[in-house]
Structure 1
């Protein structure tokens, strides 16, 4: 069924008119420091979930709105509070599941923020604050879109809608799979919209069609039974730091490309993207060269990467003339689409064991793997999304890959194999998610909200 053009225009108008209210509500959410790490105030997560639930109830659209938790598999511990809302489809219409998350990254060093991380601040067309982009803007894009279609369609809103706003995405989605299993009947849908990705630029929408997987683990290197004086034993005894530095260096070649046998590369074309754009979007310092080979986007979208994201070592201010007996590092690998994350982890572990210098003892722990994702772009939901993006942004969308990972999508695919999955987002390349001075480009947010409202109206016009 083709959507009524006058209704589509009315939805567009209503969505645009609702942007200021959505931004005001977004500011209220940003003020809540909803960090899932146990070392932070966990009551903030509860307040955040309650605020999101209230926003969904106030739409008047849903049959039920609940705050729920699921058990973390293998433990007696419950995961963080999530919000689950639902309404049943009518008259043969499809059901859409809208996903986002209300938890945020820790702010890091407050001194690096130009304005307080939990005080939403508008500067130069951007809203600054932790979670302003990732992913409370995704929450409000959903809420704003629902408000618009409800206002215009009223009793003619026959679309089934489920909303799942997770509370621990930044902390590893530890109870995600169990939450899906516990609530499968409510969450089962024909289309899933994951609003947790990015766009090509601040004016061009992106439909994410590939995501790299991840393999994260802790490596501990031991060389001594106890610490020794670096002057007395240095030069004859390898300390753990020396062994670790030499071992980690084997992970990359001289160009900075990953040099681990068994890690796959996806062969796929990428759009034009020059070094100047990379420098502008990444903050690469003058004189520092990019790493890797082939096209820049192939390195980010289709090839593996390995990053050291943590290192237990004596801090500079406490340095002493001591040979360290052990040290630990956190290794975060991104896995090319098409390779299972567990297979990639096994290749990295085998490489490290084979290259351990001086017979250093290696221990591997805290292994966390998530598979990559490739979107089937042949379905009608992708067609509807592209048309809605073109209307909402005023330009055609670009199919993009993402170097980051959203491992829980593999859980969605496993639990709901027939659903068409759309990975969308409200971020532009300068959002600095996870970094100090995270921000949301206001024009991008408005276009994303309008586009999602138009998509919901299109889905409401379909009979399946």
Structure 2
């Protein structure tokens, strides 16, 4: 692919793109319930204004019952395809006790990376789209739709909006800039995302707390019952034991044990869990986690048996697994292993489907070539343990569309959802170049 025009143009745009990214990071756009709404709305307006500076007239689009999206449409020239560009502007919470070295909403440069909540996930995706369209002076040679979501990290209402307005997302190609390379400078295309289902389980055993000395050994303790139930979810190696859940072996790029230990911060001497390759464990096999428990805090412990205990159990499910079937099997498992005829209530909390990408589409092949040109090296395929629930909804709305999943959230250092999140601007620059090359190629 010929990058002689686009490469220097995008390079020249990067100082302003970095300024825009800093300004976006400074806005604490956390859309979770209980957080201030003003920064979320301010962020949506900033995105509109940023696109306008680069020649694209975007708008704040109300989403019923939720935070707005930012949308735009550039009509396609006759005979040219339309590309939908997706990212999200909301961010995860960033409590200081996570271990932040700097204020999470004060953009900070260190060792060539920009630190701050949302710097990578996913305000870098917005930056990629800004740079891409700026490279064409806001007049790309294909049609473009922009959808920047405001609730990807929490309970999204955009899915219902898409279902009610499928005409607003019609496109031949969907580019989702909410992913990343395993390592900076080594390009990959994501072709599969695990889904995510959650259930809340509550155990009841007694009418009230009772003395453990007087009744322990005969009266059932709810916390111990719940612990026994949770322990049945995995085997001794940490593999998921919920029956009937799809599982497979990953056939794309590998993910080394050393990289996993470094990226996840596994402590020295602590074993990894699961069996099979690390890539398979992360991308094509199910996993089970206990995300939270309502139990007696250590500081409040006393000599009593507890009457109730509750937990949130989550299961990541690989592509090919029906999410409704998975959450049903998870809940059935929890009910079936309850000891001592304790009273159990299990209910569904979340269902997000997995996603898989065909690799034989024209846009996918062109993006592989575009990334190879932008990075100067071959492109591998990877999966993701995370989920983007909207993708399945977009596929239903536009089944003819070819999906491409890219982004600047490198697995090695970005630390999305954790403390000290950061992004390498060179990833934004190269991803924007690749995206612009894709658009250029689609127009030919």
Task: Give TM-score scaled by structure 1 length.
Answer: 0.92
| CA pair 365-382 structure 1, distance change in 2 beyond 3 A | same
Q: Is the 8 A contact 2:201 2:334 kept in 1?
A: no
Shift of 1:86: 0.9
The 10-residue stretch of structure 1 (260-269 or 112-121) with the greater mean CA deviation from structure 2: 260-269
Q: Is the 8 A contact 2:141 2:439 kept in 1?
A: no
Please give the secondary structure, in 2, of the residue aligned with 1:215: strand
- Structure 2 residue aligned with 1:92: 79
Shift of 1:267: 4.1
Work out which of the residue numbers 135, 160, 165 in structure 2 matches 1:178: 160
Q: Is the 8 A contact 1:200 1:398 kept in 2?
A: no
Aligned mates of 2:172, 2:338 — CA distance in 1: 49
Structure 2 residue 13 is matched with structure 1 residue 18: yes
Work out which of the residue numbers 12, 31, 37 in structure 2 matches 1:42: 37
Shift of 1:315: 1.9
- Structure 2 residue aligned with 1:453: 436
Aligned mates of 2:431, 2:303 — CA distance in 1: 56
> Deviations along 1:192-251, whole A, 9 cap, x unmatched?
011111213111111110111111121111111222222222221121110011110000
Structure 2 residue 29 is matched with structure 1 residue 9: no
Q: Is the 8 A contact 2:120 2:408 kept in 1?
A: yes
Q: Is the 8 A contact 1:125 1:443 kept in 2?
A: no
Superposed counterparts of 1:374-453, under 5 Å: 374-429=356-411, 430-453=413-436
| CA pair 272-182 structure 1, distance change in 2 beyond 3 A | closer
Shift of 1:252: 0.5
Q: Is the 8 A contact 1:110 1:117 kept in 2?
A: no
- Structure 2 residue aligned with 1:103: 90
Q: How many positions carry a matched residue from both structures?
A: 443
Aligned mates of 2:7, 2:294 — CA distance in 1: 52
Please give the secondary structure, in 1, of the residue aligned with 2:5: helix
Work out which of the residue numbers 216, 226, 229 in structure 1 matches 2:208: 226
Shift of 1:20: 1.6
- Structure 1 residue aligned with 2:105: 118
| CA pair 36-450 structure 1, distance change in 2 beyond 3 A | same
Unaligned 5+ runs, structure 2: none
Task: Give TM-score scaled by structure 2 length.
Answer: 0.96
Give the CA RMSD over aligned residues.
Answer: 1.5
Shift of 1:419: 0.7
Aligned mates of 2:102, 2:316 — CA distance in 1: 32
The 10-residue stretch of structure 1 (314-323 or 248-257) with the greater mean CA deviation from structure 2: 314-323
Structure 2 residue 63 is matched with structure 1 residue 70: yes
Shift of 1:264: 1.3
- Structure 2 residue aligned with 1:297: 279
Aligned mates of 2:313, 2:346 — CA distance in 1: 10
Aligned mates of 2:227, 2:426 — CA distance in 1: 45
Aligned mates of 2:95, 2:113 — CA distance in 1: 20
Q: Is the 8 A contact 2:98 2:418 kept in 1?
A: no
Q: Is the 8 A contact 1:210 1:373 kept in 2?
A: yes
Q: Is the 8 A contact 1:225 1:325 kept in 2?
A: yes
Work out which of the residue numbers 51, 54, 60 in structure 1 matches 2:49: 54
Q: Is the 8 A contact 2:191 2:357 kept in 1?
A: yes
Q: Is the 8 A contact 1:12 1:453 kept in 2?
A: no
Shift of 1:126: 1.3
Structure 1 segments, 4+ long, off by >4 Å, are none
Superposed counterparts of 1:349-368, under 5 Å: 349-368=331-350
Please give the secondary structure, in 1, of the residue aligned with 2:106: coil
Superposed counterparts of 1:214-363, under 5 Å: 214-363=196-345
Work out which of the residue numbers 154, 162, 184 in structure 1 matches 2:145: 162
Q: Is the 8 A contact 2:56 2:72 kept in 1?
A: no
Shift of 1:268: 4.1
Aligned mates of 1:18, 1:224 — CA distance in 2: 66
| CA pair 111-288 structure 1, distance change in 2 beyond 3 A | closer
Q: Is the 8 A contact 1:90 1:160 kept in 2?
A: yes
Aligned mates of 2:291, 2:182 — CA distance in 1: 26
Q: Is the 8 A contact 1:149 1:456 kept in 2?
A: no
Aligned mates of 2:10, 2:293 — CA distance in 1: 47
Work out which of the residue numbers 112, 127, 132 in structure 2 matches 1:140: 127
Q: Is the 8 A contact 1:240 1:327 kept in 2?
A: yes
Aligned mates of 2:12, 2:342 — CA distance in 1: 64
Q: Is the 8 A contact 1:110 1:116 kept in 2?
A: no
